[in-house]
Amino acid sequence: MATGFDPSGRLPDFFLNTGTSSFTQFLSAAHPELLPGRRPLPPGLNAGDVAPHGTTIVAIATADGVVMAGDRRATMGNLIASRDIKKVHPADAYSLIGIAGTAGIGIELIRLFQVELEHYEKTEGAMLSLDGKANRLAAMVRGNLGAAMQGLAVVPLFAGFDLAPAAGVHAGRIFSFDVAGGLYEETGYEAIGSGSLFAKSALKKKYRAGVSTEDAIRLAVEALYDAADDDTATGGPDLTRKIFPVVMTATANGTHRLSDEDITAVAEQVVTGRMENPGG
């Protein structure tokens, strides 16, 4: 609690220092134990088998911005750990983040990243640029490298609407990462996670530059269907329980999550289509 920061109840000096506007940098001085990647893991152990894993996320650049969609499954070995996990979240008002890999670390990374962006915005009175946000996220992934080597790897996918793109750059931009914190800007579309191979193959055949948001949503759900078709760790549309992918968009109007009715309609269309032609 607040007063727990200091016995006297006053704000400690490092709260009052000018410091930086980065929340993770502040935490690394004030509360390093709150940062993932700062916790010692027992040496020699591979923790990857005991923690649930999240899987496939796809992102597509559209005429108006970006669409990001993720399936709802988390697995633990051969078991399904969760049928309705949400792996795609808004990072701030204009950007989206999805995660694949160790679910626990991924969720923590998302929360921390959301606070990081909001903290900067409140402190500075201005948003970070989209590239600035991507670089911050890369640094946070890099900080998790030690845990990744012990099986707790997590890789995000970041996409957003660039409010001030450089000349000739499309406003809808997608960034992918590797476990070492490498940052790569993608053109058109990208997928991460165990089913990404199949999702990307599906997108390769169907994606056209300048696709409308509506069509891109359909494409994303189709790609996730293809991933679920060939990858056991990716969940397909669950018609019996009404569990469908999480689909979000980021456009000039900000981020938006597709309502349950909208995604149900799209998913049902996709499933109906596959009844006639299983290959899509």
Partner 1 sequence: MQFYASPEQVQRDRSEYARKGIARGRSAVVLSYEGGILLVAENITTLRKISEIYDRIAFAAVGRYNEFESLRRAGVRMADTIGLTYDRRDVTGRALANAYTQTLGAIFSETQKPYEVEICIAQVGATPEQDELYRIMYDGSALDEPGFMAMGGQAEAIATVLRERHDVNADLNTALGLAAEALGSVGGENGQTRTLGAKQLEVAVLDRRRTGRTFRRLADATLTTLLGHEEVADADLGETDAAPPAPADSKPTESAASQDTE
In terms of phi and psi (left: phi > 0; alpha: psi -120 to 50; beta: otherwise), the region of 181 is: left
- Minimum CB separation of residue 9 from partner 1 in Å reads 4
Instruction: Kindly name the residue from 20, 24, 55, 56 that is annotated as catalytic.
Output: 55
Residue 86 binds partner 1 (CB under 8 A): yes
**Contact pattern for partner 1 over residues 192 through 231, marking x by CB under 8 A:** ----------------------------------------
CB of 273 to partner 1, least distance (A): 29
12-29 b/e (C-beta count within 10 Å ≥ 16 → b): eeeeeeeeebbbbebbee
Q: Which residues, in sequence order, are CB contacts of 83 under 8 Å at separation 6+?
A: 72, 73, 235, 238, 241, 243
Query: Is there binding between residue 76 and partner 1 (CB under 8 A)?
Result: no
Active site residue 56: no
The whole-angstrom separation of Cα 219 and Cα 204 is 11
Minimum CB distance to partner 1, residue 179 (Å): 20
**Geometric angle at alpha carbon 159, from 239 and 37, rounded to 5°:** 95
Report residue 183 as tokens.
């940052």
Active site residues: 55
Q: Which residues of this protein are in contact with partner 1, per CB under 8 A? A: 1-3, 5, 8-11, 15-19, 23, 26-27, 30-31, 34, 84-86, 89-94, 107, 110-112, 114-115, 118-119, 121-123, 125-127, 163, 248, 253-257
